Amino acid sequence: MSATTAPEVESPETPEVDSDVVIETRNLGKVYRDFWGRKKVAALKALDIEVKKGEIFGLLGPNGSGKSTTIKLIQGLLFPTSGRAFVFGKEARDVTKNERIGYLPEESYLYKFLNAEETLDFYGRLFDMPAEVRRERSDKLIRMVGLNNARRRQLREYSKGMTRRIGLAQALINEPDLLILDEPTTGMDPIGSREMKDLIIRLRDEGKTILLCSHQLADVQDVCDRVAILHLGELRELGRVDELLKVRDVTEVHAKGLSDELKGKIAELIRNEGGEVVTIDNPTTTMEELFLDIVQDDRPGSRPSAT
Amino acid sequence: MRIEENQMWGYFEWLIFKFGLLQGVLVVFALALLGFIACYLVAMARYGPSEGFYHVTRVIYELLARDLPGTSFNRVYALGKLAFQEAIRRRVLVIMAVFIVGLLFAGWFLDPSSENVARLYISFVMTGTSYLILLLGLFLSCFSLPADIKSKTVQTITTKPVRPTEIILGRILGFTAVGTMLILVMGILSYIFVVRGVVHDHGVKDVSADGRLGSTTVDARHTHSFEMVPGEDGNYAEGTTDEQKGHRHVVTVREVNGEKTYEIGPPQGLLEARIPVFGELTIFDRGGNPTMRGLNVGYESEYQSYIEGNSLMAAEWTFDNVYPARFSGGDTLPIEMSLKAFRTLKGDIVTGVQGEIILRNPNGRIESERRPFVVKEFSVDHIEIPRKLPGSQDGVPREVDIFDDLVSEDGQLQVVVRCTDGGQYLGMAVADLYLRAGNANFGWNMFKGFLGIWMQMVLIICLGVMFSTFLSGPVAMVATLTSLMLGFFGGLALDVASGDAPGGGPIESLIRIPMQTGAMVDLDLGNPVLENTVKAIDTGIMYTLVTLFQAIPSFGQFNTADFVAYGFNIFGGLVARHLTMTFAYFVLTSVIAYFFLKTRELAAA
Ligand SMILES: Nc1ncnc2c1ncn2[C@@H]1O[C@H](COP(=O)(O)OP(=O)(O)O)[C@@H](O)[C@H]1O
Ligand SMILES: [Mg+2]
């Protein structure tokens, strides 16, 4: 029996290692205080989420809704004022969990006096990787994020989008099992943004877990399997994207090249069969509707039950 | 230049017999206890009594069980290299340029006609180096971590498997590497500067008809006269010049095609690293009995003891391990002394105060004859005593051999000094008379001097990094400087903290204020238990204060530039001791820095 070797300080509430749950937060909350300990902002209130292995989980919310705060709490960059967070079954403040995490911060906080190669070599060393692995991986990543032509230039000369790309490469240097991305597409051009999303999906297909946060609805709608919608630090919606967006009594028909005459016929057919035509139009982003619906509903405590 | 008694201690003598180790352990223990209490109080205020205790012990546990074992060389190297690159990017090399410009224009403000050019040059380069390097260490270490926290680059680091230990070690080592590089270059340039500035040649100006006397040309703003000594064949072959500005030259004659050419060698005695052998000093009072201290002549500095002329008063140095091998074979025993004279009568100012010196076997039976001398004030008097000299055994005159007769079986020799001028006094401290065991290499000595600057730099970097883990850059700088100041004046603070100041410690004083009792009256609370409790607590507080003051490095002691400038070899024991203390402070500050960094919310700044 070796079950009693756990150190005494390890609290008994550590979750039973459920290999399927990568991130778990329990009643996680954060109140920012000023120097004198006075309460400034309650940035996050009692968050309970579970991110499962192999999914893309999105945190969606307007600016200042507590997305970055959540991400920092999960990584131990901030200490919670209530509740706890676990990653891979370890406490958020345990640095060894970082071996398996890749993190792209809000802005890429990198050393401006290093060039792309030096940057990746530096972060590779922080994972104790041997020299040839570092060299090979940084080369692969620099090509992958499309910075091959700028690999010897100092980061201070990089544009916003390029900085984002090297930030992403830095997050992937350790081939992480969990990728945490804070607003991954901000600052990227449409092509870069598309590439980023394709990459995220590809990484998920390789079996990695991804937690991303964004205020851009399109991102979330395009790539996420599940989303949590935060507003004013509260969880407002949680569920599968397709489930959340499915309006059960509305059927959407996508067709191309219909003449106005034909559209009229279809409308008539629906009416004849006892249906009701809501719109016959080009489709809108229904995510946006859902989002605006939540955000405009400002009553506190209207948290829905999570799926 | 004054060599303190504690500077003569050997390494193990300091560590064990002078309680260096014990003191270190006590300081660490007291700091650990205080730190624990302070942390616990903070944690208690935040989390409550039991939860707070858990948090504090947790951090200790994490350090010992996880972060220390988890510390990886590769990560420390990466972070150190980053700190190095950052420093270079901040153009620290400008410091190098400042130094070089300083050397180039040194001629403008260094007076080459000074009495001791070597001393002047050495002091100049070493002071310059230490100011520049210490400033550099201060700026690099205090501003780096706060800048990283502000720019949030630290968040990208701490979300990698990086331990706080590695961040601290990386910074300290990286900045130390930068400083080491600069010190090395500055040291080499300094050495070249000093040697080039001091070494000079003379030509021969004129020689007397018989070839015995002569004088040199004026070079480096001085000239020498010289005297040749006849060799075995009766011809003048070799001679020396007189001493000017602390040096002499050897003069040789060569005959080429029947014509005599005089050659004057390089200066000797300028760039020296004298190896002194210090003894233990005992003063004998007017009755001829050993005493703690000699006379105090009142207004003179306190550290010397004075002996009166024409009395039984004497100063006796006892030296250990006096073997011929230590004195380049032992044909002569060189003694150097710099005694002070104190006059009570208006005597003959020109001849000065007279004294005598006697070598004696500690058994008291064999001694040398009295050798009179005239005190050379303000300079070092060098006496070479020949191995065989007249003396006496049990009062019977005979020739004595220093190493065979005067040195005892276990290698001890006593040197006795008396003042022979009635009414005048001779003043001395233990370091004022020593046996001269040859020379160490000057370059090596200068290296040890620069090592002293290096240790000061390491100390500043450690303190700066420590303070920057919880203070902003400018505040960390002020805190570091304050610690250094306290270290400089540590002795003073210690007196205040440890002194039996009248009126007792803080609590007793507080009680006395409303009671309006005089400080000299014993505390009377009508309850002996209470009184003793107050005193015990006060002693505890005072002791803690003393310990804390001792924890502050007395920064000045690492500076051994004076040894180099005044031509004394820096003792290996002293260097080893300083290195040990530097390492101890490195460990101490690193641990404190760890606790602050570990408990800091890096993203909340
Ligand atoms: N370091 C901080 N100190 C004080 N308040 C903060 C800090 N960081 C964030 N906040 C506040 O917390 C709230 C949530 O911020 P954040 O998590 O960054 O939002 P998001 O990432 O969703 O835009 C905001 O009101 C923000 O002003
Ligand atoms: Mg954000």
* Ligand 1 first shell, C-beta below 6 A: A 32, 40-41, 43, 61, 63-69; B 604
Tell if the CB–CB gap between B161 and A114 is shorter than 8 Å: no
Amino acid type, B55: H
DSSP string computed for B477-497: HHHHHHHHHHHHTHHHHHHHH
Band the pLDDT of A176: cuts 50, 70, 90.
very high
Contacts A–B by Cβ distance under 8 A: 83
The two tokens of residue B601 are: 């919310």
The verdict on domain B275-439 having CATH code 3.90.960 is no
Q: Is the pLDDT of residue B145 over 90?
A: yes
| Chain A contacts in chain B segment 7-66 (CB below 8 A) | 54, 57-58, 61, 65-66
Distance between CA atoms of residues B279 and B320, nearest Å: 7
Asked if A39 reaches chain B (Cβ–Cβ under 8 Å), the answer is no
Write out pLDDT tens, residues B351-395.
Answer: 678 889 999 998 888 989 888 888 877 777 888 888 888 998 888
What is the residue-averaged pLDDT of chain A? 82
CA distance B189 to chain A (A): 30
Q: What's the A21 CA to ligand 2 centre distance in angstroms?
A: 24
Band the pLDDT of B450: cuts 50, 70, 90.
very high
CA distance B153 to chain A (A): 5
Q: Identify the closest residue of chain A to B165 by CA–CA distance.
A: A95
Q: For position B182, what pLDDT does the model report?
A: 94
**Percentage, residues of chain B above pLDDT 70:** 89
Asked if B151 reaches chain A (Cβ–Cβ under 8 Å), the answer is yes
Chain A residues touching residue B67 (CB < 8 angstroms): 95
Distance between CA atoms of residues A32 and B492, nearest Å: 44
Which ligand is closest in space to the CA of residue A39? 1
Q: What's the B597 CA to ligand 1 centre distance in angstroms?
A: 22
Nearest CA to ligand 1 atom 27: A64
**Under 8 Å between Cβ of B140 and B82:** no
- The beta-carbon neighbor of B75 closest among A72, A113, A126 is A126
Q: Identify the closest residue of chain B to A99 by CA–CA distance.
A: B161
Write out pLDDT tens, residues B398-409.
Answer: 999 988 888 988
**Which residues line ion ligand 2, judged by CB < 5 Å?**
A 68
Which residue of A36, A69, A216, A294 sits with most ligand 1 atoms within 8 Å of its CB, as the best mutation to test the pocket? A69
Q: Is the pLDDT of residue A226 over 70?
A: yes
Distance between CA atoms of residues B603 and A78, nearest Å: 6
Distance between CA atoms of residues A211 and B154, nearest Å: 21
Of A281-295, B184-198, B224-238, the least confident: A281-295
Chain A residues touching residue B601 (CB < 8 angstroms): 77-79
Placement of tokens 């020396």 in the chain: B240
The two tokens of residue B61 are: 């546990």
Q: Terminus-to-terminus CA distance in chain B, angstroms?
A: 49
Write out pLDDT tens, residues A21-77.
Answer: 999 999 999 998 877 777 788 899 999 999 999 999 999 988 889 999 999 999 999
Distance between CA atoms of residues B250 and B237, nearest Å: 11
Tell if the CB–CB gap between A123 and B75 is shorter than 8 Å: no
Q: Is the pLDDT of residue B476 over 90?
A: yes
Tell if the CB–CB gap between A111 and B153 is shorter than 8 Å: yes
Band the pLDDT of B550: cuts 50, 70, 90.
low
CA distance A126 to chain B (A): 5
Q: For position A228, what pLDDT does the model report?
A: 92
The two tokens of residue A281 are: 């139009």
- The beta-carbon neighbor of A78 closest among B157, B162, B604 is B604
Q: What's the B155 CA to ligand 1 centre distance in angstroms?
A: 15
Higher pLDDT, A270 or A285: A270
- The beta-carbon neighbor of A110 closest among B67, B75, B156 is B156
Q: Identify the closest residue of chain A to B156 by CA–CA distance.
A: A109
Write out pLDDT tens, residues A103-144.
Answer: 999 887 899 999 999 999 999 999 999 999 999 999 999 999
Nearest CA to ligand 1 atom 21: A68
The two tokens of residue B4 are: 């303190």
What's the average model confidence in pLDDT over B527-538? 79
Distance between CA atoms of residues B161 and A98, nearest Å: 5
Q: Identify the closest residue of chain A to B57 by CA–CA distance.
A: A9
Q: Identify the closest residue of chain A to B150 by CA–CA distance.
A: A109
Q: What's the A95 CA to ligand 2 centre distance in angstroms?
A: 22
Which of the residues B63, B86, B90, B156 would you substitute to probe the A interface, choosing the one with the greatest number of A C-beta atoms within 10 Å? B156
Chain A residues touching residue B145 (CB < 8 angstroms): none
**What is the 8-class DSSP label of residue A250?**
-
Distance between CA atoms of residues B363 and B323, nearest Å: 17
What is the domain partition of chain B in residue ranges?
1-69, 73-202+441-490+554-605, 204-268, 275-439, 507-551
Higher pLDDT, B233 or A14: B233
Chain B residues touching residue A126 (CB < 8 angstroms): 75, 78-79, 157, 160-162
The two tokens of residue B523 are: 């505390």
Integer angstrom CA distances of residue A81 from A47, A49, A180, B152: 12, 17, 22, 21
Q: For position B344, what pLDDT does the model report?
A: 73
- The beta-carbon neighbor of A99 closest among B78, B158, B161 is B161
Q: Is the pLDDT of residue A7 over 60?
A: no
**Under 8 Å between Cβ of B310 and B420:** yes
Q: For position A194, what pLDDT does the model report?
A: 86
**Under 8 Å between Cβ of B8 and B571:** yes
Band the pLDDT of A1: cuts 50, 70, 90.
very low
**Under 8 Å between Cβ of A124 and A137:** yes
Asked if B91 reaches chain A (Cβ–Cβ under 8 Å), the answer is no
Write out pLDDT tens, residues A241-250.
Answer: 777 766 656 6
What backbone phi and psi angles, to 5 degrees, belong to A14? Answer: -55, 130
Q: Identify the closest residue of chain A to B73 by CA–CA distance.
A: A128
Contacts of B354 (CB under 8 A, 6+ apart): B372, B373, B374, B375, B419, B420, B421
What is the residue-averaged pLDDT of chain B? 83
Q: Is the pLDDT of residue A85 over 80?
A: yes
- The beta-carbon neighbor of B78 closest among A101, A110, A122 is A122
Chain A residues touching residue B153 (CB < 8 angstroms): 109-111
| Spatial CA neighbour of B187 closest among B459, B448, B576, B568 | B448
Q: For position B51, what pLDDT does the model report?
A: 80
SS3 of residue B41 by DSSP? helix
Q: Is the pLDDT of residue A177 over 90?
A: yes
**Under 8 Å between Cβ of B289 and B450:** no
What's the average model confidence in pLDDT over B32-50? 80
CA distance A103 to chain B (A): 7
Which residue of A44, A68, A71, A77 sits with most ligand 1 atoms within 8 Å of its CB, as the best mutation to test the pocket? A68
Q: Please give the model's pTM, rounded to 2 decimal places.
A: 0.82
Q: For position A249, what pLDDT does the model report?
A: 60
Q: For position A250, what pLDDT does the model report?
A: 63
- The beta-carbon neighbor of B152 closest among A7, A79, A109 is A109
Integer angstrom CA distances of residue A43 from A30, A31, B171: 6, 6, 33
Q: For position A2, what pLDDT does the model report?
A: 38
Distance between CA atoms of residues B135 and B129, nearest Å: 10
- The beta-carbon neighbor of B601 closest among A78, A110, A126 is A78
Band the pLDDT of B217: cuts 50, 70, 90.
confident
The two tokens of residue B400 are: 């004595």
Q: Could you tell me the domains of chain A?
A: 21-246+284-295 (3.40.50.300), 252-281 (no CATH)
Chain B residues touching residue A110 (CB < 8 angstroms): 153, 156
Q: For position B347, what pLDDT does the model report?
A: 57
Tell if the CB–CB gap between B159 and A101 is shorter than 8 Å: yes
**Under 8 Å between Cβ of B480 and B589:** no
The distance from CA A252 to its chain's CA centroid, rounded to whole angstroms, is: 28
| Chain B contacts in chain A segment 130-149 (CB below 8 A) | none
Write out pLDDT tens, residues B156-186.
Answer: 999 999 999 999 999 999 999 999 999 999 9
Q: What's the B503 CA to ligand 1 centre distance in angstroms?
A: 55
What's the average model confidence in pLDDT over B547-554? 63
How do strand B213-216 and strand B204-207 relate by DSSP bridges?
A: antiparallel
Distance between CA atoms of residues A13 and A25, nearest Å: 13
In residues, how long is chain A?
Answer: 307
Which residue of A36, A41, A220 sits with most ligand 1 atoms within 8 Å of its CB, as the best mutation to test the pocket? A41
The distance from CA A152 to its chain's CA centroid, rounded to whole angstroms, is: 30
Q: For position B546, what pLDDT does the model report?
A: 66
Q: For position A300, what pLDDT does the model report?
A: 47
CA distance B471 to chain A (A): 12
Nearest CA to ligand 1 atom 25: A64
Beta strands in A34-105 (DSSP E): 39-52, 56-60, 82-87, 90-91, 101-104
Q: Is the pLDDT of residue B346 over 60?
A: no
Which ligand is closest in space to the CA of residue A73? 1
Contacts of A202 (CB under 8 A, 6+ apart): none
**Percentage, residues of chain B above pLDDT 90:** 25
Atom of ligand 1 nearest to the CA of A182: 21
